[in-house]
């Protein structure tokens, strides 16, 4: 499949191609260009960024019509898109269909709301009204925004970034994860067919250390948004200079189970969420802290729930856990399980054994809450594999607040029948989002703190557009 740049589908001038393999069968799906520095320069140089460009002439109402057309196009191709996602990413086909459906909802929302969004006019701030001066403030696009996306949700996350960037009036260069380029390329094809001007968008495949770095260092890029791991984000920040960067990273989902909690409900909901997308979501529960009085009972229930999970071919409608997108994640998780068991943990299910990209869902008990192997000091608490660790607490759940890292901890779940105690515990936790007697999923609308780099799920259309635009004051002197 070709990349999209300079208003057309094409291979990069170097002719270098990268084969993309199905993580389950290991067969080659197709090839994509490995876009080098020359291709990046051509692509970004081909994006229009002045007041006469074709994107600037599209009204908010017209952009809403484009999003509505894209919605219908995605809906018509939903099954093919789901199979494309599963083929390159490895998630079960049922989950891929949910990803497509959430994307449809996103496009529908922007189709309805686009006329309210984008280049808005606001009253001039009071402190700017000196003497007889008057004026207004407007939101304006950055210009060229670079979007770098992960492989966990290869269709939804690109849509979450591309759609508001277009609504704000930006031209876009998007660099999808090198393992999962086809879903993003398919999204770009749908958007251009629906009316997005060809000279306002480019989609470049390639590795982060080559293509991603070239995009971030390009002098014509005005803003960068990245979803990814901490290592990726540090590399982007190092390459971006003074360009504004908005970055979002995931973390380790944490669950607290009190002695009066509903253990059956806790086990059922934790297992359903922790192993969705084979543990490859930003909020996958990886750590459970449980009161010692009910610790063994909870473990028994977790083992029973995990025994019901069907692991295997992600194209099988009944499969619940497929392969990991990248083989190194399976190797890393297997080594983590082995190291933790060597340090005293008990392996109750799975054993952390990996076969290629597949790792059996693994349950580890007796995790030391101070284990730097399980809880790294640098805050990079994202396992991205179907591995669940459980810690016994003998002196209350409130001590967990001291162990949570607010840099990476997005949400905590609490299972307790004492709602007053649960509310008090929730108030002590340094996180933005707490669920009582339930767990969050990636489809939830979670609280978002714009001052934080943590990504917390879906947000209102207006705030997404605001993130990808800037202010301009127009002041008149009488």
What pLDDT, on a 0 to 100 scale, did the predictor assign at position 452? 43
What pLDDT, on a 0 to 100 scale, did the predictor assign at position 117? 63
Q: Inform me whether the pLDDT recorded for 407 exceeds 60.
A: yes
What pLDDT, on a 0 to 100 scale, did the predictor assign at position 454? 41
Q: What is the mean pLDDT of residues 152-165?
A: 94
Q: Inform me whether the pLDDT recorded for 185 exceeds 80.
A: yes
What pLDDT, on a 0 to 100 scale, did the predictor assign at position 456? 36
Q: Inform me whether the pLDDT recorded for 268 exceeds 90.
A: yes
Q: What is the mean pLDDT of residues 87-116?
A: 90
Categorize the per-residue pLDDT at 451 as very low, low, confident or very high, splitting at 50, 70 and 90.
very low
Range with the poorest average pLDDT among 52-66, 86-100, 261-275: 52-66
Highest mean pLDDT among 227-241, 296-310, 352-366, 456-470: 296-310
Task: Say if pTM beats, i.e. exceeds, 0.85.
Answer: yes
What pLDDT, on a 0 to 100 scale, did the predictor assign at position 405? 76
Q: Inform me whether the pLDDT recorded for 447 exceeds 50.
A: no
Share of the chain above pLDDT 70, in %: 91
What pLDDT, on a 0 to 100 scale, did the predictor assign at position 378? 57
Q: What is the mean pLDDT of residues 18-25?
A: 96
Q: Inform me whether the pLDDT recorded for 455 exceeds 50.
A: no
330-347 per-position pLDDT tens digit:
998 999 999 999 999 999
What pLDDT, on a 0 to 100 scale, did the predictor assign at position 49? 60
What pLDDT, on a 0 to 100 scale, did the predictor assign at position 379? 54
Q: What is the mean pLDDT of residues 183-192?
A: 98
Range with the poorest average pLDDT among 71-75, 121-125, 461-465: 461-465
What pLDDT, on a 0 to 100 scale, did the predictor assign at position 457? 40
Q: What is the mean pLDDT of residues 380-385?
A: 79
What pLDDT, on a 0 to 100 scale, did the predictor assign at position 53? 63
In whole numbers, what is the pLDDT of the chain averaged over residues? 88
3-state secondary structure the chain: CCEEECCEEECCCCCCEEEEECCCCCCEEEEEECCCHHHHHHHHHCCCCCCCCCCCCCCHHHHHHHHHHHHHHHHHCHHHHHHHHHHHHCCCHHHHHHHHHHHHHHHHHHHHHHHHCCCCEEECCHHHCCCCCEEEEEEEECCEEEEECCCCCCCHHHHHHHHHHHHCCCEEEEECCCCCHHHHHHHHHHHHHHCCCHHHEEECCCCHHHHHHHHHHCCCCCEEEEECCHHHHHHHHHHHCCCCEEEEECCCEEEEECCCCCHHHHHHHHHHHHCHHHHCCCCCEEEEEEEHHHHHHHHHHHHHHHHCCCECCCCCCCCCECCCCCHHHHHHHHHHHHHHHHCCCEEEECCCCEECCEECCEEEECCCCCCCCCCCCCCCCCCCCCEEEEEEECCCHHHHHHCCCCCCCCEEEEECCCHHHHHHHHHHCCCCEEEECCCCCCCCECCCCCCCCECCECCCHHHHHHHCEEEEEEEECC
What pLDDT, on a 0 to 100 scale, did the predictor assign at position 464? 73
Categorize the per-residue pLDDT at 139 as very low, low, confident or very high, splitting at 50, 70 and 90.
confident
What backbone torsions phi and psi does residue 123 show, to the nearest 5 degrees? -65, 145
Share of the chain above pLDDT 90, in %: 65
Q: Which residue has the higher pLDDT, 12 or 51?
A: 12
Dihedral angle over CA of 52, 56, 62, 66, nearest 10: 110
What pLDDT, on a 0 to 100 scale, did the predictor assign at position 411? 81
Q: Which residue has the higher pLDDT, 190 or 380?
A: 190
Q: Inform me whether the pLDDT recorded for 35 exceeds 70.
A: yes
Q: What is the mean pLDDT of residues 446-468?
A: 53
Q: What is the mean pLDDT of residues 192-217?
A: 95
Q: Inform me whether the pLDDT recorded for 460 exceeds 90.
A: no
Q: Inform me whether the pLDDT recorded for 105 exceeds 50.
A: yes
What pLDDT, on a 0 to 100 scale, did the predictor assign at position 57? 83
What pLDDT, on a 0 to 100 scale, did the predictor assign at position 257? 98
Upper half-sphere CA count for residue 204 (Cβ side, 13 Å) = 36
Instruction: Please list, in sequence order, all residues whose beta carbon lies within 8 angstroms of the beta carbon of residue 426, skipping any fewer than 6 positions away.
Output: 412, 414, 434, 436
Q: What is the mean pLDDT of residues 6-15?
A: 92
């Amino acid at each position: 499949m070709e990349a999209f740049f300079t208003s057309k589908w094409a291979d990069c001038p170097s002719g270098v191609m990268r084969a993309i393999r199905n993580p389950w069968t290991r067969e080659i799906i197709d090839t994509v260009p490995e876009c080098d520095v020359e291709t990046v320069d051509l692509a970004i140089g081909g994006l229009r960024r002045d007041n006469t460009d074709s994107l600037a002439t599209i009204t908010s109402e017209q952009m809403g019509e484009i999003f509505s057309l894209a919605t219908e196009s995605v809906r018509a191709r939903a099954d093919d898109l789901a199979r494309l996602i599963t083929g390159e990413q490895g998630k079960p086909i049922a989950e891929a269909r949910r990803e497509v459906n959430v994307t449809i909802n996103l496009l529908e929302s922007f189709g309805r709301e686009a006329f309210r969004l984008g280049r808005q006019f606001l009253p001039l701030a009071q402190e700017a009204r000196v003497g007889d001066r008057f004026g207004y403030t407007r939101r304006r696009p950055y210009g060229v925004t670079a979007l770098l996306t992960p492989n966990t949700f290869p269709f939804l996350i690109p849509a979450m970034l591309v759609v508001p960037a277009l609504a704000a009036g930006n031209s876009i260069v998007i660099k999808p994860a090198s393992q999962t380029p086809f879903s993003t390329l398919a999204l770009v094809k749908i958007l251009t067919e629906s009316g997005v001007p060809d000279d306002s968008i480019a989609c470049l495949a390639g590795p982060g250390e080559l293509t991603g770095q070239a995009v971030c260092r390009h002098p014509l890029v005005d803003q960068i948004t990245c979803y990814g791991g901490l290592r990726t984000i540090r590399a982007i920040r190092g390459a971006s200079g003074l360009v504004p960067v908005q970055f979002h990273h995931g973390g380790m989902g944490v669950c607290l189970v009190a002695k009066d909690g509903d253990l059956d409900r806790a086990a059922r909901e934790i297992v359903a969420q922790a192993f969705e997308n084979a543990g490859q979501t930003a909020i996958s529960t990886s750590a459970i802290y449980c009161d010692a009085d009910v610790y063994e009972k909870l473990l028994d229930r977790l083992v029973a729930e995990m025994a019901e999970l069907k692991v295997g071919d992600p194209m099988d409608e009944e499969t619940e856990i497929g392969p990991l997108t990248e083989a190194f994640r399976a190797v890393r998780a297997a080594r983590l399980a082995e190291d933790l068991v060597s340090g005293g943990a008990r392996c109750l299910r799975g054993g952390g054994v990996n076969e290629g990209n597949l790792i059996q869902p693994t349950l580890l008990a007796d995790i030391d809450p101070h284990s730097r192997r399980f809880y790294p000091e640098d805050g990079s608490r994202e396992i991205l594999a179907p591995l669940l660790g459980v810690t016994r607490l003998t002196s209350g759940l409130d001590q967990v607040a001291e162990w949570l890292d607010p840099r990476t901890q997005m949400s905590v779940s609490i299972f307790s029948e004492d709602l007053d105690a649960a509310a008090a515990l929730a108030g002590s936790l340094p996180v933005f989002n707490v669920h009582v007697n339930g767990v969050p999923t990636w489809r939830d609308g979670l609280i978002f703190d714009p001052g934080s780099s943590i990504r917390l799920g879906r947000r209102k259309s207006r705030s997404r557009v605001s993130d990808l635009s800037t202010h301009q004051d127009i002041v008149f002197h009488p």
